[in-house]
Structure 1
Amino acid sequence: MLDTLSLGRGPGSMRTVSRVVPAPSRVGLDLIGIEKGTDVEFDLRLEAVSEGVLVTGSVRADVVGSCSRCLEPFDDSVDLHLTELFAYPDSATEETTEEGEVYRIVDDEIDLEPVIVDAVGLELPLQPLCSDDCEGLCPECGVRLAIAESGHAHETMDPRWAGLAAKFGAGSDASNATADASKNNEEK
């Protein structure tokens, strides 16, 4: 909460605010966000305008997440630039806008939490990555490809080709499958 009483209502009056506060709750998306208690740094300018208080400046915080490809945890940071108008009570802006379209000053205080929640939600990626070149997981065995040996691969055979592979002696699993199928046909 930022107090606007010392700012006054005269258009053009201004003051700067620099603070570090702990995040009151987790802010972000499913795979990435600012954890509760993490320091959030504000460097803001509050400027009185005819309809309210214009808040501009930057917000910075550390974020933690899980990579959407390899599922490994990682740390990063988010830097936001805010420009938001908080309407005075009984101003034309407050009276002509629907609830939720504009932020409002309540009891001469500005609540920045909903602004930051909205800005962080728009800034963070829906599918965060630990690095831009993350290779992810092997679709066959689930090992992280970043730590797998060079040329990591699995030989799999389409079961529709098993009979042909058995005829030419390729793949012992295919030979066994064909032999089992032949045995079942003979028993019938």
Structure 2
Amino acid sequence: MKLMLHDLRGRPEGMAVCGRVSVDEVARRDRSVAAVEPVQVELEAREISPGVFQVDGTLKTRVAYRCSRCLTEFWEPLETPFHERFVRLPTPAGEWDQEDDMTPIESDEVDLAPYVEQALILALPWRPLCRPQCRGLCPECGANLNEGPCGCSDRATDPRWEKLGELWKGISGSSGGSG
């Protein structure tokens, strides 16, 4: 998806930029993402001062996640705002400080796809859950506990803690009264 900056010059009202962007790379990079539908991009672009361009709008898609507890795949809609500012180089002295939150560009053509992908990645949940009460997988046999109990012992203890457990039983089993 290309934005032609020369189309924005002399248009204070700006212009709409709409389309679809494929972000298949997101699923390859993030293990919690199984698939992403093409992103519906609805943006408004305008020149806010000579050589400085602002692009705002909304990104909408559907994402197939892998639950971080049970690994089940599930689809959810994702909608996120998009805000990006570009500064055309070279710029008149004093108009742009490198610490400003703007992306420097040297061409009149800006490929928005990488910026759309970045905004989408930042909007993904850190640990997606198929549902808030997801019980996850059994640490013993790997069964999905959302589908029912697996038959493994609920009180499986790590053998490294057995001596501590024996000590605890000895303490809690004694009368331990003080006198």
Q: Is the 8 A contact 1:45 1:56 kept in 2?
A: yes
Q: CA deviation at 1:70?
A: 0.4
CA 1:64–1:128 in structure 2 vs 1: closer, same or farther (change >3 Å)? Answer: same
Q: Which amino acid aligns with 2:79?
A: D
**For residue 183 of structure 1, what is the aligned residue in structure 2?**
none
Q: In structure 1, what is the Cα distance between the partners aligned to 2:150 and 2:86? A: 57
**For residue 186 of structure 1, what is the aligned residue in structure 2?**
none
Q: In structure 2, what is the Cα distance between the partners aligned to 1:81 and 1:129? A: 22
**For residue 31 of structure 2, what is the aligned residue in structure 1?**
30
Taking only the aligned residue pairs, the percentage that are identical comes to: 28
Q: CA deviation at 1:34?
A: 5.3
RMSD: 3.1
Q: Which amino acid aligns with 1:41?
A: Q
Q: Is the 8 A contact 1:104 1:110 kept in 2?
A: no
Q: Is the 8 A contact 1:94 1:104 kept in 2?
A: no
**1:157-172 aligned within 5 A:** none
TM-score by length of 2: 0.71
SS at 1:117 equivalent: helix
Q: In structure 1, what is the Cα distance between the partners aligned to 2:129 and 2:86? A: 35
Structure 2 alignment gaps of length 5 or more: 167-179
Q: Which amino acid aligns with 2:55?
A: V
**For residue 8 of structure 2, what is the aligned residue in structure 1?**
7
Structure 1 alignment gaps of length 5 or more: 163-188
Whether 1:112 and 2:106 are equivalent positions in the alignment is no
Q: Is the 8 A contact 1:14 1:48 kept in 2?
A: yes
Q: CA deviation at 1:120?
A: 2.1
Number of equivalences: 158
**1:15-54 aligned within 5 A:** 15-23=15-23, 25-26=25-26, 29-32=30-33, 35=36, 38-50=37-49, 51-54=51-54
Q: In structure 2, what is the Cα distance between the partners aligned to 1:31 and 1:12? A: 42
Q: Is the 8 A contact 1:48 1:54 kept in 2?
A: yes
**1:115-134 aligned within 5 A:** 115-134=115-134
Q: In structure 2, what is the Cα distance between the partners aligned to 1:75 and 1:43? A: 22
> Deviation digits for residues 147-182 of structure 1, max 9, x if unmatched?
1149974465776589xxxxxxxxxxxxxxxxxxxx
**For residue 97 of structure 1, what is the aligned residue in structure 2?**
98
**For residue 71 of structure 2, what is the aligned residue in structure 1?**
71
Q: CA deviation at 1:87?
A: 0.8
Q: Is the 8 A contact 2:21 2:113 kept in 1?
A: no
CA 1:127–1:24 in structure 2 vs 1: closer, same or farther (change >3 Å)? Answer: closer
Q: In structure 1, what is the Cα distance between the partners aligned to 2:24 and 2:130? A: 26
CA 1:156–1:15 in structure 2 vs 1: closer, same or farther (change >3 Å)? Answer: closer
TM-score by length of 1: 0.68
